[in-house]
Structure 1
């Protein structure tokens, strides 16, 4: 078993990781050594920004996602199974949603717009779908009515297989591509031994899939035509990805929850295996090693960056705007433990700096950058909310 770090050993690891002062945080849970000096505990950045927090909608029940519409309105999902539209100061509950399994971590999860939303009114929803014998992550396509009050033409275009009777690790972010395809992140359902099947290619657990807007398999997916492999699979070996975004060059980045330590930022590429649960920079919640307690293996990708202790990441977006000085191109991540908006600066595909800002509003579940440069977030609380963030002064 990997021994836990003493306070002095933790300080040595933190000091040697980058020879620079990292963001203030607790001692790591393990003595695992990063594969490269910049893989964890990046140099702390100080932007000097004080966040101005404007409540947009309050009193929401565990909101999970926000999507900004071209007209300045917003769609908000609530995990118990409600979709709401905020527009011109009013909130409308939208009817016509599919049935969801709202137990534990399940419920109504992500919402995303089709690239041609302005003409098609097409949106996509991910959710925990109730099924005989359990549940599973599903994606539905629907048309949002012009008045924003209802959904029509609802079609389930993807169903994660197999069905499992559990209430954890559903994923699931939807990332539309300019080519008309969708990336969908899928959890491995958490429990032992089901989580080990994140390495099996005959199903969708612990995978990232790529499908067309109608749920079909793109012909250029990496495993099309391979026996025993689900053709929707784009990447494997993922734990529970609840943050995913495309950068300015169209590259896909994901952030997943680790166990006790080992939250990961990955630059996901077609056909790659990201290792869970064979390799991890975390340990089980009881402190025992994850499987063999190793952090690297041939044929498995290293995370670009990892956190130990965790930040509980959910929701991310790349900043493109003028309000926040030199933040252009930085990755903004929602953090739930401790609550924060985490800013990562990337250069050459590596993290070179980290900043944590606490708006004082609770657990940030999703992050979206608006066209005017403001940052919109939802907080996953019993009485959560939608908030707009901008620089004070």
Structure 2
């Protein structure tokens, strides 16, 4: 009798699955995993397999098809106060390596570091070591960043927050408030913009960032970044070599208690491509290039925290915003990361510990 009731409940739930519509495309949302902690980052090992980070330090495997899951041993020890923990995940299929960013406890506080490792054959252990430790040490537990991506030439891009030391985002002798570019050995490439400058750290690719938690490279090789402003002033930028993105000298955000911070424009500092006031808190960033949702092609998607929605931006060929849309507001989730799978479906993680999949309605 209990089995019959359970089957009826599951059948009823399937019948009641909500259909969403955007640009005339109907889609549904499926829960692939439900846990208890913030799922900060994830990436795909294959079309049916992913790995993901839980902010408290756990690293997990998930079979997307069967929904089988297990913890992976061997992840680095993390600093878990406030916003700290195990952060982003990137799988490099060219050398079968996984890259994890995390807040590392060190003398003087904590910093943002990068771990590189490989999975065991049974995918139950990651074996590796710290590849890079950023010079972004500060006390306290906020503004670590961090995302990591690799371009077609094999260079690593890693974002680091300014650790709530805002003026340090403009200083070139620290990694605070920077996007870094590294080799797969964790070194500064010879053509980085500040190599040879004795007053600057050679790993810096761009600077003047607050808390960059969105980073993605599209098929054209363009590096997109999203970062939190303070009270408003959240940004999306296209990151270019050696450029200064302004924080805290220029920003469209304000102090949490009201006054303006600096100005909004200054020569030699980059304007954001888009900005939002009030805040939406963009944590994950994706350029959709799949075929499952043809009318989303070329759109930007942002996983938002305070906004509690999936934010879609439609652009023209000159990257001018044509319109924007808020999706999945009814779920009332803090969306942490968004990525496109090889199936063209859209995958999301949440601060409530869920992994979701958006798929076209059949």
TM-score normalised per structure 2: 0.90
Secondary structure at 1:260's aligned position in 2?
Answer: coil
RMSD between aligned residues: 1.5
Question: How far 1:145 moved relative to its partner?
Answer: 1.2
| SS of corresponding position for 2:88 | strand
1:177 aligns with 2:151: yes
Q: Cα deviations across residues 167-207 of structure 1 (Å, max 9, x unaligned)?
A: 000000001111111100010012xxx21110000110001
Question: Shift of the alpha carbon at 1:144?
Answer: 1.1
Q: Residue 47 of structure 2 contacts residue 341 of structure 2 at CA under 8 Å; is this kept in 1?
A: no
Taking the aligned partners of 2:124 and 2:332, their CA distance within structure 1 comes to 28
The answer as to whether partners of 2:47 and 2:342 remain within 8 angstroms in 1 is no
**Contact kept? 1:121, 1:145, Cα under 8 Å:** no
2:112/2:136 contact within 8 Å kept:
no
In the TM superposition, residue 351 of structure 1 has moved relative to its aligned partner by 2.1
Shift of 1:121: 2.6
Deviations 1:247-293 (A, max 9, x none): 22111010100111100010110000000000000101111221x3x
SS of residue matched to 2:35: strand
Residue 209 (structure 1) aligned to one of 165, 180, 187: 180
Tell me how far 1:71 sits from its aligned partner: 4.1
Kept in 1, the 8 Å contact 2:159–2:180? The answer is yes
Aligned to 1:29: none
Measured in 2, the distance between the counterparts of 1:163 and 1:338 equals: 30
1:132 to 94, 107, 112: 107
**In 1: Cα distance, 2:250 partner to 2:29 partner:** 39
Deviation at 1:349, TM superposition (A): 2.5
User: Relative contact order (alpha carbons < 8 A, sep ≥ 6): 1 or 2 greater?
Assistant: 1
The answer (yes or no) to whether the contact 2:57–2:86 under 8 Å persists in 1 is yes
Which among 297, 300, 305 is matched to residue 331 of structure 1?
Answer: 300
Q: How does 1:80-95 map to 2 (within 5 A)?
A: 80-87=56-63, 88-95=66-73
Q: Number of residue pairs matched?
A: 338
Q: Is the 8 A contact 2:136 2:163 kept in 1?
A: no
Distance 1:183 1:350 in 2: 25
**TM (normalized to structure 1)?**
0.83
For residues 362 and 186 of structure 1, what CA distance do their matches in structure 2 show? 25
Q: How many Å separate the matches in 1 of 2:272 and 2:97?
A: 34
Counterpart of 2:41 in structure 1 is: 65
Change (3 A) 1:85 1:280: same
- For structure 1, list consecutive stretches of 5 or more residues without a partner in the other structure: 1-44
Residues 314 and 366 of structure 1 are in contact (CA less than 8 Å); yes or no, is this contact kept in structure 2? yes
User: What are the ranges of 5 or more consecutive residues in structure 2 without an aligned counterpart?
Assistant: 1-20
1:10-56 CA deviation, whole Å, 9 max, x = no partner? xxxxxxxxxxxxxxxxxxxxxxxxxxxxxxxxxxx962445411110
In structure 2, distance between residues paired with 1:312 and 1:64:
14
Task: Give the equivalent residue in structure 1 for 2:121.
Answer: 146
Does the 8 Å CA contact 1:115/1:180 hold for their aligned counterparts? no
1:388 matched to 2:362: no
Show the 5 A alignment for 1:1-393.
47-87=23-63, 88-116=66-94, 120-152=95-127, 154-190=128-164, 194-290=165-261, 292=262, 294-347=263-316, 348-358=318-328, 360=331, 362-381=333-352, 384-393=353-362
